[in-house]
């Protein structure tokens, strides 16, 4: 059974634009170096928004060298990018954007959500690309809830939604550049469930709500991430309260991580080139859209 390596939580929120009250759980300069291929996790919410006559969010900004993965639990997020990708994601949906060689995008609340207000909760992950794919053509995957396989655990213990990778033979719909697993899990109070991550893969368990214990005895509470050892394969979670959990892991990318702001590459020279290309307009731009000012 996998042993616990470390845990981390962050109760300090900061605003990204005016739409995302975010706790950064890890970044590419700290735990992200141990959780390859995952670079960063931002946890936005839970937060209640009052109705508004404009779309809250974050305006046009660039990325290069990685992918962003946004999982919506409540609320709505719209996305537009300079490669032509975009769409609306609602509760249960996922957007998987490959920035690759570079683009600019904006992320805003949906019109209906902005007009009505309500509870908002989402996770955004940054997923690294190997050096050979960092300059790949940008792409956008809008993954709807209905496309995501749901595997029910025995005896009403809960379920797992397979966003990426494989769980007990169910394949997630996300197309990835390197092997990884991303599972959206619910565990009922008192339930215990065993999971397996391939040998040599990084493994992390993030608790959005509720309380769970690892098979080795350590308790995890709200907004806490646990990094487990890469070997052996299996680990167990037991819920002392109904729990909402994200399990993530993958084959490490054993390459240098050099990041600065919105760019993650393999060398400082590549970072400098990214800034030059952005300033030169080579990552494209978005036309200003009425009502999307942050």
Average pLDDT of the segment spanning 220-249: 97
CA angle, 207 as apex, 206 and 209 as ends, to 5°?
A: 155
Mean pLDDT of 156-176: 97
Q: How far apart are CA 263 and CA 168, in angstroms?
A: 35
Average pLDDT over residues 257-284: 97
E strand segments, 148-262: 150-152, 158-164, 166-167, 170-171, 180-187, 192-196, 202-209, 212-214, 219-220, 224-228, 234-239, 243-250, 258-260
Question: pLDDT of 65-122, one tens digit each?
Answer: 999 999 999 999 999 999 999 999 999 999 999 999 999 999 999 999 999 999 999 9
- Tens digits of per-residue pLDDT, 2-28? 999 999 999 999 999 999 999 999 999
The predicted structure's pLDDT at residue 141:
97
* 216 confidence band (pLDDT: 50, 70, 90): very high
What tens digit of pLDDT does each residue of 126-155 get? 999 999 999 999 999 999 999 999 999 999
State how far the Cα of 148 lies from the Cα of 172, in Å rounded to an integer: 6
Per-residue model confidence (pLDDT) at position 293: 33
Backbone angles phi, psi at 106, to 5 degrees: -130, 150
Q: Give me the pLDDT at residue 291, please.
A: 34
User: Does residue 292 carry a pLDDT above 60?
Assistant: no
Q: pLDDT by residue (tens digit) across 195-204?
A: 999 999 999 9
- pLDDT tier, 288 (very low <50, low <70, confident <90, very high otherwise): very low
Instruction: Provide the token pair at 25.
Output: 């759980």
In whole angstroms, give the CA distance from residue 97 to residue 113: 22
Handedness of CA 268, 101, 283, 164 (dihedral sign): negative
Q: Model's pTM, two decimal places?
A: 0.95
Q: Put the strands of the sheet holding 103-109 in their side by side order.
A: 57-63, 103-109, 77-81, 86-89
Asked if residue 224 has pLDDT above 70, the reply is: yes
> What is the rounded average pLDDT for all residues in the chain?
95
């Amino acid at each position: 059974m996998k042993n616990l390596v470390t845990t981390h939580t962050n109760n300090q929120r900061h605003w990204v634009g005016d739409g995302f009250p975010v706790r950064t759980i890890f970044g590419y300069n700290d735990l992200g170096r141990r959780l390859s291929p995952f670079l960063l996790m931002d946890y936005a919410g839970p937060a209640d928004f009052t109705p508004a006559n404009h779309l809250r969010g974050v305006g046009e900004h660039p990325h290069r060298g990685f992918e962003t993965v946004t999982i919506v639990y409540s609320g709505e997020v719209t996305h537009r990018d300079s490669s032509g990708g975009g769409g609306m994601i609602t509760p249960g949906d996922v957007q998987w954007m490959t920035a690759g060689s570079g683009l600019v995008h904006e992320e805003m609340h949906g019109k209906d959500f902005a007009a009505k207000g309500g509870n908002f909760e989402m996770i955004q992950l940054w997923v690294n690309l190997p050096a050979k794919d960092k300059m790949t053509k940008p792409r956008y995957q809008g993954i709807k809830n209905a496309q995501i396989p749901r595997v029910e655990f025995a005896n009403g213990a809960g379920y797992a939604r397979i966003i990426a990778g494989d769980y007990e033979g169910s394949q997630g719909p996300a197309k990835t550049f390197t092997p990884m697993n991303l599972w959206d899990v619910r565990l009922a109070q008192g339930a215990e469930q065993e999971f397996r991550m391939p040998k040599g893969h990084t493994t992390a368990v993030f608790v959005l709500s509720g309380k769970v214990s690892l098979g080795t005895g350590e308790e995890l509470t709200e907004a806490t991430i646990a990094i487990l050892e890469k070997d052996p394969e299996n680990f167990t979670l037991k819920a002392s309260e109904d729990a909402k959990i994200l399990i993530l892991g993958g084959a490490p990318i054993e390459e240098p991580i050099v990041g600065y702001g919105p760019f993650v590459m393999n060398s400082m020279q590549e970072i400098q080139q990214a800034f030059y290309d952005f300033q030169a307009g080579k990552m494209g731009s978005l036309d200003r859209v009425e009502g999307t000012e942050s």
